[in-house]
Structure 1
Amino acid sequence: MEFDDAAEAYAQHLARVRRLSPATVRAYSADLRDLSATVPDTDVTEVDLEALREWLWRATQRGDARSTLARRTAAARGFFAWAAETGLVAMDPSLRLVAPKRGRTLPQVATADGVRVMLDGLAEGASLGDPVDLRDSAMLEVLYGSAVRVSELTGLDTDDVDFDRATLRVLGKGSKERVVPFGAPARRAVEAYIIRARPALAERTSSPGAGSALFLGTRGARISPRAVYDVVARELGQVLGTSAVGPHALRHSAATHLLDGGADLRAVQEMLGHASLGTTQIYTHVSSERLAATYRLAHPRA
């Protein structure tokens, strides 16, 4: 079987059998397309360990991050393990493929004061009644107030919001559902958006999916992750001093601020929807480094 055909079959396996998230399937598929460019028009049985090592070496030469190299290694290993199980190859050539060690990269985190100034500014602008401003204010309040992922935010429907309990029902990675709380400012912003802005945006489309979607784009359909990225980059970018920032920075900031305020690590794990407590622990490193930086600046004998 041609490599590209096998890669497409593997992507279908990830989506339908292993039920991985669409984002994970897209990432692995992109990695295998990148490998395909290194071994063009090749039968899957002809790809050996040296070809895989050459592929990773080229990626290092163009400056791919270690995290990207590690993911690509995982994609190749998963693909060839599946190919061996299904009989497409007699031997798995990726068994001795070594993933580079991942360096610990701390996430970008805005200060609590910086986020407050940003959200207060958005609320002030939204008070003038523009539908898009009302939507943007509500979206960023929800992103920070509930620490949800951008995919979870864009997947919200109107009936996923429980205003009485101030909670959201979200569908996370692996199609796992969880309920997360959000604060009073987010509740006020979402209520204002639903009453004053969403009907005006909904009139702009005949899209069948827009009827249930909570957050709508400027053309009235369910808002896309790309549109949310643009809003966050514009607004939070002013706080962090860079436009290279996305919705995950608000999630990082919310988690860090929760731990700074004394929240239990296990509770933060549940709120974020992390499968492993170890994933959540990165935010304790952020808090520790912020403490160390404050100490160095403030203590007379630092």
Structure 2
Amino acid sequence: MESNFGAFQGNNSVIRSLATLAYEGRRPAFAQAQLLAALQIIQHGDIQADQMKGSWAGAMGQTQFIPTTYNTHAVDFDGDGRRDIWNSPSDALASTAHYLQSSGWQKGQPWGVEVQPLPSGFDYSLADGGVRKSVAEWLQLGIELPPGVSLPANVDQLSAALLLPAGYRGPAFLVLDNFRAILKYNNSSSYALAVGLLSERFGGGGVIRGSWPKDELPLSRSQRIDLQTALSAKGYDAGNADGIIGANTRKAIRAAQQALGWPADGYPTVKLLESLQGR
């Protein structure tokens, strides 16, 4: 998705980008490892240095592999002697499939499923990626599949988490281990959800049934920093005020929501920010 199906892979020299980041970036050790891996790719003969283009951060090819991932998982699927994730869709897709398989992808299993609106009185604090239950246990808590939607017979014992990408007012999903495999590719729930839904769209599905709270815009980075600062000032430890809504911040949000008598879904909103700021 980052490359618009391979149409835009980045015009930066991967070697130049990684050399710059290795010298003055925020994670020099990481960039140094990627730079050495990129040089190994060139040495192997998969691509010439002047043709190794990618993003400013060194991600490259149609599916934006970093060099170390390339060296571990890239494959020559079309048999031309080169692992060409830049120009060969076959190599790019097969390499990505190899990566997902190595990350725990289970063939024939779904990534997840959208569920019906959650029942009244549901404990929204369970909508935490760290809370995992079997699908059967989630169904026992009152979660229901949409009419006409069924899962393979063996799925009910698989581990799943409840995902509320827009908080309690938006759609709800049970996400399985294949969702976690996508997260290993890109550790963003929004990214993994988009990949899962897009994959279903290719087969005619993937239409979100639940309503999305379009009147509730996502917080800007400065607003997220303000929210973290306000949470910590009220005694809810949100961790560093860096604008990244991670596990600590979501835990703090839930505590604040519970104190206010709101559904504790851990979702950051303008309403919560204004309440904490006394507005």
Bin for the TM-score computed over the shorter chain: under 0.3
Structure scoring higher RCO (CA < 8 A, sep ≥ 6) equals 1
TM-score w.r.t. the length of structure 1 is 0.24
Counting helix residues as a fraction of each chain, which structure ranks higher? 1
TM-score w.r.t. the length of structure 2 is 0.25
